[in-house]
């Protein structure tokens, strides 16, 4: 099968390591792995990794004019008192992004989602102010 954007083994290894990383059960810190598309080389690259970050800080760290895939280890508190740590993909695609980069980002998304093996996807197009706990909780409950 032909791929628009390749996913190098280093990115696959980073995804696997992030997925299986132990997280402290007693904290509410989020972890995020940020992946970008290198338009010139047509490959995905790890942009940044955050081990203890809030949603607000994550929104501030993400670019306002360039799409990213964000694998987020989220802390979800259930009504029955349980806490779970689901992995979620945030498809960060700000409206102000360059059209050709958005097209590459969109065309590679299905391959990225399959490689990451994560079913929950949250689309963010309106920037940092729309990346809220209420939005994510609503999508996961």
Q: How far apart are CA 101 and CA 53, in angstroms?
A: 27
Q: What is the CATH number of the domain that holds 91?
A: 3.40.20.10
**Segment 70-109, tens digit of pLDDT:** 999 998 888 898 888 899 999 999 998 999 999 999 999 9
Would you say the pTM of this structure is higher than 0.85?
yes
Mean pLDDT of 33-49: 96
What pLDDT sits at residue 3? 74
Q: Please indicate, yes or no, if residue 35 is contained in any of the structural domains.
A: yes
Q: How far apart are CA 14 and CA 18, in angstroms?
A: 6
Q: Please indicate, yes or no, if residue 1 is contained in any of the structural domains.
A: no
More confident site: 116 or 76: 116
DSSP 67-87: -EEEEEE--EE-TTS-EE--E
Q: Please indicate, yes or no, if residue 3 is contained in any of the structural domains.
A: no
What pLDDT sits at residue 116? 96
Q: How far apart are CA 32 and CA 62, in angstroms?
A: 11
Rounded to 5 degrees, what are φ and ψ at 90? -100, 115
More confident site: 27 or 54: 54
What pLDDT sits at residue 77? 85
DSSP 80-115: TS-EE--EEEEEE--TTS-HHHHHHHHHHHHHHHHH
8 Å CB contact between 3 and 106: no
Mean pLDDT of 40-65: 94
What pLDDT sits at residue 2? 52
Total tally of structural domains belonging to the chain: 1
Domain span holding position 77: 9-140
Can you say whether the dihedral through the CA atoms of 52, 53, 54, 55 is positive or negative? negative
Residue labelled with tokens 């990383």: 21
Residue 89's DSSP bridge partners are 71, 121
pLDDT at 24 over 80: no
Q: Please indicate, yes or no, if residue 2 is contained in any of the structural domains.
A: no
pLDDT at 131 over 80: yes
């Amino acid at each position: 099968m032909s791929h628009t954007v390749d996913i190098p083994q280093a990115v696959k290894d980073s995804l696997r390591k992030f997925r299986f990383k132990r997280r402290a059960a007693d904290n509410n810190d989020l972890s995020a792995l940020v992946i970008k598309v290198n338009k010139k080389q047509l490959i995905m690259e790890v942009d940044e990794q955050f081990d203890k970050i809030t949603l607000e800080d994550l929104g501030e760290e993400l670019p306002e004019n360039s799409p990213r895939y964000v694998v987020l280890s989220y802390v979800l508190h259930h009504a029955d008192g349980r806490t779970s740590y689901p992995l979620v993909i945030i498809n960060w695609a700000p409206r102000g992004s360059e059209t050709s980069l958005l097209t590459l980002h969109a065309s590679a998304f299905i391959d990225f989602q399959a490689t990451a093996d994560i079913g929950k996807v949250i689309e963010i197009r309106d920037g940092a102010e729309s990346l809220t706990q209420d939005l994510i909780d609503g999508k996961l409950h």
